[in-house]
Structure 1
Amino acid sequence: MTAGTRDEWRGWRAATRTALYGPGGFYRGPQGPAGHFRTSVHASPLFARAVARLLCRVDAALGRPARLGFVDMAAGRGELAAGVLAALPADVAARTRVYAVEIADRPDGLDHRIEWRAEPPQGVTGLLFANEWLDNVPVDVAEVDGAGVPRRVLVREDGTERLGEPVDGAEAQWLARWWPLPAEEGLRAEIGLPRDTAWASAVACVERGLAVAVDYAHTADARPPFGTLTGFREGRETAPVPDGSCDITAHVALDACLLPGGRVVTQRDALRALGVAGRRPPLALASTDPAAYVRALAGASEAAELTAPDGLGGFGWLLQPVGLPDGLDLLVDVADHEEH
């Protein structure tokens, strides 16, 4: 058991932290995240290539520094870090230090140029990229009781829940600002304050450059009335049970995480600006070069999956420039104009 005794009642944040990251927790297992759920990184190598293009644009905006940093937060088994490094032009790769930040042990066979760390380095000049990290930063859950009062939801290791004390202090202030709950019994919210803090801490590691968080997201005008807390096991969605047997995740209020000067766009828009368009190849290519046509068709299918508005393309990209006054225009808008 990972979350204490089976009969112990705890807030979802504490129970999730132990179930995911404690000794024997979900993210300590040998399979890695890819064994239980599929992210954009696993869907197609086009994703890593797009991130590599973004890193090259950051590099140019920074004046091509002698040392360029790329930080892969919640690196899993290093798939994104390795893919980005492999996709970089040789001259950029020669100046790039790649850091994979992950609590699990370094996987065998990972490119020796990738530095494996439990925490991100400080003073990064370059790009910090957090793909589906914030949704696994544990949060507490609030539910409105019969009197209309938001209370903390307590949980046991077997997933049984009951209501605890009223939400108060900074967490009550966060709810009032970012996810106000009407006085209707049963309505729920995830209290995203720990994610705001975690993101601010990650951004503080960047001295100059860009920080990006990519995740399932919702905004203040469309919060889900009953929250989004769920679990994943072996590729399927399941009930969230904090015993270390499954991933426990919840969508992210990215608008609350946003720091001054930042912006949230959809993955569809971001990837299109980085050259991932999903256009089908011309049919004439099938006659002149069938093998090339098949490759291009497969690439178009992968791009379509990455940019589908009701799927991965609907993810949010939080773009946070640091020390780049025109960073957002340079890295997104101008690229979009160039494409058209």
Structure 2
Amino acid sequence: MTAGARDEWRGWRAAAQEALYGPRGFYRRAEGPGAHFRTSVHASALFAGAVARLLCRVDEALGRPAVLDFVDMAAGRGELAAGVLAALPAEVAGRTRAYAVEIAGRPPGLDHRIEWRSAPPPGTTGLLFANEWLDNVPVDVAEVDAAGRARRVLVREDGTERLGEPVGGAEARWLERWWPLPAQEGLRAEIGLPRDEAWAGAVATVGRGLAVAVDYAHTAGTRPPYGTLTGFREGSETPPVPDGIRDITAHVALDACALPGGRVLPQREALHALGVTGARPPLALASTDPAAYVRALAGAGEAAELTAAGGLGDFGWLVQPVGVPDPFLT
């Protein structure tokens, strides 16, 4: 990149788009996002097991079709798709067609049953699951100026910011509806309209079944006053600098993304409903089968992490049925 490009002022959406998905972007790197941050998928195989059980519920709601689709959006290196296939009952796995959707190339050694794609297939019959995808759909940032107006935040590649033009049009209407900013200088919001559109596009690929988005989230009444834009690199949170060597992320207004019939629930509630409870094994098991007790205790610890308040358990699950009942209500 030339010095002139590095000094260019752009909105955060354009800057993050290039930093994440451009030719030298963060998500093009061979090591994959798992080298930089830890998701529920990496925290425990219990997560993939829970998603497999959810896929089985969708399978039942669909009447056990001859081909059952599982689409892993923002698949990283295919860890979730592989884990779900491994956790499914043999009869269901034999009917399951798995897709990993990711812009990076297919990793070596991935289960041959997983089809690697750059976009979700149309007409999915089954489950589309997007774990920590929407937080990486780039958005613009608005900040209130001294006169009480919401203005677009501009940024250079080194992370330096300044205020640009006032927010207008559809973005201003989105802010008014979903994240109204009081006229107090310095308050910020991420304009989530591109995420609403991305989610609607993903759901539109589902012919019948269920679409689920799991992410850092907030809803109306809990919007953070100064936004959530941040970076991650090599396991640590960093300033949000659009340089291509770190993740650029912001929490998701999942309630704004929801289409009619969709709803948001906490991850702990969703995982509890799918059998991930974190209950400790009975102490008597330590005497009768010490090895089983140790395994069960480790599993309880992993379940506790996945459902912990103040951590992964606070993630939001946006559950969007398409032509089937909500599997968390049946």
TM range (shorter): over 0.9
Match of 1:168 in 2: 168
Closer, same or farther: CA 3–157 of 1 in aligned 2, 3 Å: farther
Match of 1:215 in 2: 215
Given that residues 3 and 15 in structure 1 are in contact (C-alpha distance below 8 angstroms), is that contact kept between their aligned partners in structure 2? no
Match of 2:91 in 1: 91
Offset of residue 3 of structure 1: 11
Offset of residue 310 of structure 1: 1.2
1:61 aligns with 2:61: yes
Q: How does 1:141-290 map to 2 (within 5 A)?
A: 141-290=141-290
Distance 1:106 1:4 in 2: 34
Match of 1:9, as an amino acid?
W
Distance 1:23 1:103 in 2: 11
Offset of residue 5 of structure 1: 1.2
Match of 1:104 in 2: 104
Closer, same or farther: CA 93–153 of 1 in aligned 2, 3 Å: same
Match of 1:125 in 2: 125
Match of 1:138 in 2: 138
Given that residues 153 and 162 in structure 1 are in contact (C-alpha distance below 8 angstroms), is that contact kept between their aligned partners in structure 2? yes
Offset of residue 246 of structure 1: 0.4
Given that residues 218 and 252 in structure 1 are in contact (C-alpha distance below 8 angstroms), is that contact kept between their aligned partners in structure 2? yes
Match of 1:69, as an amino acid?
D
- CA RMSD, Structure 1 to Structure 2 (Å): 1.0
Given that residues 2 and 23 in structure 1 are in contact (C-alpha distance below 8 angstroms), is that contact kept between their aligned partners in structure 2? no
Q: Deviations over 1:293-340 (max 9, x none)?
A: 00000000000000012110000000000011xx22xx2134xxxxxx
Normalised to the residue count of structure 2, the TM-score between the two structures is 0.99
Match of 1:297 in 2: 297
Match of 2:329 in 1: 333
Closer, same or farther: CA 278–242 of 1 in aligned 2, 3 Å: same
Distance 1:91 1:281 in 2: 30
Aligned length: 330
Match of 2:49 in 1: 49
Match of 1:77 in 2: 77
1:23 aligns with 2:26: no
* Deviation >2 Å, runs of 4+: 1-4
- SS in structure 1 opposite 2:141? strand
Offset of residue 143 of structure 1: 0.2
Closer, same or farther: CA 76–304 of 1 in aligned 2, 3 Å: same
- SS in structure 2 opposite 1:126? strand
Distance 2:3 2:319 in 1: 34
Q: Deviations over 1:231-265 (max 9, x none)?
A: 00000000010010100000000000010011110
Given that residues 2 and 244 in structure 1 are in contact (C-alpha distance below 8 angstroms), is that contact kept between their aligned partners in structure 2? no
- SS in structure 2 opposite 1:182? coil
Distance 1:168 1:22 in 2: 27
Offset of residue 2 of structure 1: 9.3
Distance 1:296 1:121 in 2: 38
Closer, same or farther: CA 231–117 of 1 in aligned 2, 3 Å: same
1:321 aligns with 2:317: no
Q: Deviations over 1:245-290 (max 9, x none)?
A: 1000000000000100111100000000000000000111111110
Offset of residue 4 of structure 1: 7.3
- SS in structure 2 opposite 1:94? helix
Distance 2:3 2:95 in 1: 43
Given that residues 45 and 83 in structure 1 are in contact (C-alpha distance below 8 angstroms), is that contact kept between their aligned partners in structure 2? yes
Q: Which runs of 5+ in 2 are unaligned?
A: none
Given that residues 4 and 157 in structure 1 are in contact (C-alpha distance below 8 angstroms), is that contact kept between their aligned partners in structure 2? no
Normalised to the residue count of structure 1, the TM-score between the two structures is 0.96
- SS in structure 2 opposite 1:333? coil
Distance 1:242 1:272 in 2: 37
Seq. identity, %: 82
Distance 1:266 1:332 in 2: 12
Distance 1:271 1:71 in 2: 19
Distance 1:2 1:289 in 2: 64
Q: Which runs of 5+ in 1 are unaligned?
A: 335-340
Match of 2:238, as an amino acid?
T
Given that residues 136 and 249 in structure 1 are in contact (C-alpha distance below 8 angstroms), is that contact kept between their aligned partners in structure 2? yes
Q: Deviations over 1:208-250 (max 9, x none)?
A: 0000000000011110000000000000000010010100000
- SS in structure 2 opposite 1:220? coil
1:40 aligns with 2:70: no
